[in-house]
Amino acid sequence: MKPFLSRLFLLARCLVAVGAASLLPAFAADDKAAISEQVDAVMNQAARAGMPVLALASTDSCTEAGPLRQRLAGDAALRPLVARFAFVELRMSGDDKWTWKRWQERFDTHRRQSPQLFVIRADGRKLFSGDPPADLAGVLRHQLGQVGQPLVPRQADLFEAQLRAASELQTRGDLAGAVRSVTPACRVPSFARPVVESIAFRAAVADRMLDRIERAAAEPGADTDRLAAVELLVAAAEEFATTLPDVARTAREHVAEAGRDPAGRELVRQAQALHHAAVAARRSADRGLALYEQIITTHPQSPAATLAAVRLRSLDAEPR
């Protein structure tokens, strides 16, 4: 392939290039130190379900911890509230004191009083820490108003499956499909890990696409390179219209700017034809071949025909 055609082909496929590096957050490899096997298991399960953690920390000699523990478990007003938390108990002295030390490091707390209560949101944010309040039921009720919606197991399973699908679509270069995959989770007002990861993934795509759009809009005026850049703008405007409206709106504005004069409008038409052929080719190689051949016939000796021919050779080389 000639050097300038190679460059053109790469530029025209910049949507695929956007998806080359994983945009999924690596929450599974949390860089925070483990607290203990038991505590980590409870907190990981709570994070997946979007459930807050209620932690009670006390020393072995604390005389207030026992009655508080019984009250949390048996008080009729507290029991339904406590049931909405994942419960963790921490020893501030004795053999388990190192677990307490790691807890202190994780949540940046240095108080030594015993007992202490903590409320940790599913995404790891500390919402409350300190002495057990006099109005414990009121405080727990208030904290539950800040922790978001928990997920039922089938929701967590579904959202994790959609994240895996998004990763596969991203690898294939279909970022629009990847964003569509995670969008249902992004609409749930939850701090559950699958929701947080989905929101982070969508935000990363939006940031990367806005950067690509601005770079495409600034592409020099050579017809071949400019056509590939306008195709990216057309693709972003169409494919992210419902999932990333800010991205689509920015792309539409640049498409409108590109089509202000007759030559620019023709460039936009060619870019639209190329984009529609590329979308069709993802679904059916035969349909993509037919549309690229149509572009060559309709726009002979044009930048669109040049690029369509490059893509035809690429599709012909792919196994059927």
- As a whole number, mean pLDDT of residues 152-170 equals 96
Q: What pLDDT, on the 0 to 100 scale, is given for residue 16?
A: 37
* pLDDT class of 219 with cuts at 50, 70, 90: low
Span 99-139, pLDDT tens digits: 999 999 999 999 889 999 999 999 999 999 999 999 999 99
Residue 6: count of CB within 10 angstroms of its CB = 11
The answer, yes or no, to whether residue 19 has pLDDT greater than 50, is: no
Q: What is the CATH number of domain 51-144?
A: 3.40.30.10
- The segment with the largest mean pLDDT, out of 91-95, 196-200, 278-282, is 196-200
pLDDT digits (tens, 9 = 90+) for 261-273: 898 899 999 999 9
Among the residue ranges 92-106, 122-136, 182-196, 215-229, the one predicted with the least confidence is 215-229
Q: Which residue has the tokens 């009655």?
A: 67
CB 254 within 8 A of CB 216: yes
pLDDT of residue 31: 44
Rounded mean pLDDT of 237-251?
95
Give 300's DSSP letter. T
CA pair distance 241, 219, nearest whole angstrom: 23
Please compute the mean of the pLDDT values over residues 212-238 and round it to a whole number. 84
As a whole number of angstroms, the distance between CA 162 and CA 185 comes to 8
β-sheet bridge partners, residue 128: 119
Rounded Cα distance, 2 and 6, in Å: 6
Q: Is the pLDDT of residue 13 over 90?
A: no
- Of 73 and 12, more confident: 73
Across the chain, what does the average pLDDT equal?
A: 87
Domain limits of the chain? 3-26+152-317, 51-144
Task: Decide if pLDDT at 239 tops 70.
Answer: yes
Percent of the chain topping pLDDT 90: 71
**Which residue did the predictor score with more confidence, 315 or 227?**
227
pLDDT at 143 over 60: yes
pLDDT given at position 205: 94
More confident residue, 294 or 319: 294
pTM given for the model: 0.81
Instruction: Supply angle C-alpha 254, 312, 205, rounded to 5.
Output: 40
Q: Which residue has the higher pLDDT, 34 or 183?
A: 183
Q: If we measure between CA atoms, which residue out of 46, 43, 39 comes closest to residue 100? A: 39
Dihedral sign computed on CA atoms, order 269, 271, 273, 276: negative
Nearest 10 degrees: Cα torsion 243, 122, 21, 285: -40
